[in-house]
Amino acid sequence: MENPIITILGSCRQDSLYKKYKITSIKNHLSYPHYSKEVLQVLNYCLFDNLTPEQTMIFRSPILSNRPIQNNPFLNEIKKSDIIFIEIASKKYYKYKNLYGHHIMYDDYKYNKHKNDIETGVLEDKEIIKDLNKIVELLPLKKIIFVGHLVTKKEGDRYDLLTLIKNFCLKNNILFIDPMEELLKNNFSVNEVIEDPTTYFAHYTKKGHEEILKIYEKYINI
């Protein structure tokens, strides 16, 4: 596909795409969704303008700026996209007034003024699969690429979630990227591609961004 327009529904781990492709404004000006219900909420808002300005305060950018979105500027962003990158990195959810919010409204002391009113929990696998089916149904004419979190051990919550999404994609003939599997397959060490891998294990090094971009490009061209 030549010069595709891409929407990123994910994190800074997809930032390398900006170096080579035209990216819609959703990631940098609306939200970095982390879990399936949050992805669904971003999609529904961008496609159907289904929230009031006050309700947009569940998204990352309005939380950071402390300003609700008065007029939805994202209504054409999904429609004009050729490819949708979707990274689902967590099973944990944050529910506020029946809406699913960005984690900083709970986890970050600078933005968690409603913390006591937020319900948190862990989504069950069957609920995530239900969400994934809804996500795919909302994007019938788009090339979808799901991306897993950074996983090096075949155990634990990250591995379980990655495996769940990978199996869903295999069953439904949807592209799926396991970033660490791809990077390690190319003979890079964890220390080369991940910042401070002994702690949080969440961010790429400069080399990591360069190499994952090559992998993203390979899947974009499939």
Residue at 193 is within a domain? no
User: Does the residue 127 lie in any domain?
Assistant: yes
Average pLDDT over the chain, rounded to an integer: 96
pLDDT in tens, 53-79: 999 999 999 999 999 999 999 999 999
For residue 88, give the nearest of 10, 24, 140 by alpha carbon.
Answer: 10
Burial 170-187 (b: 16+ CB within 10 A, else e): eeeebebbbbbebbeeee
CATH number for the domain that contains residue 94? 3.40.50
pTM above 0.75, yes or no: yes
Residues 94-130 have pLDDT tens digits of: 999 999 999 999 999 999 999 999 999 999 999 999 9
Residue 198: Cβ within 10 Å count: 8
Which residues are CB-contacts of 49 (< 8 A; sequence separation ≥ 6)?
Answer: 72, 75
User: Is residue 66 included in any domain, yes or no?
Assistant: yes
* Residue 201 pLDDT: 80
Task: State what percent of residues in the chain have pLDDT above 90.
Answer: 93
211: in domain: no
Does a structural domain hold residue 214?
no
d(CA 216, CA 31): 21
- CA-to-CA distance for 169 and 152, rounded, in angstroms? 20
Segment 168-194, tens digit of pLDDT: 999 999 999 999 999 999 999 899 999
Which candidate, 218, 219, 221, 206, places its Cα nearest to that of 16?
Answer: 206
Boundaries of domain holding 55: 5-180
Considering the domain boundaries, does residue 216 fall inside one?
Answer: no
- Could you tell me which residues come within 8 angstroms of residue 7 by beta carbon, excluding any fewer than 6 positions away? 23, 24, 26, 27, 77, 78, 81, 83, 84, 85
Quote the number of domains for the chain: 1
Residue 144, φ and ψ in degrees, nearest 5: -110, 135
pLDDT of residue 147: 98
Q: What is the pLDDT of residues 125-158, one digit of tens each?
A: 999 999 999 999 999 999 999 999 999 889 999 9
CB atoms within 10 A of CB 47: 16
CA distance 206 to 193: 7
pLDDT category of residue 1 using cuts at 50, 70 and 90:
confident
For residues 186 and 166, give the distance between their C-alpha atoms in angstroms, rounded to a whole number. Answer: 20
* Residue 191 within a domain: no
In a domain, 202, yes or no: no
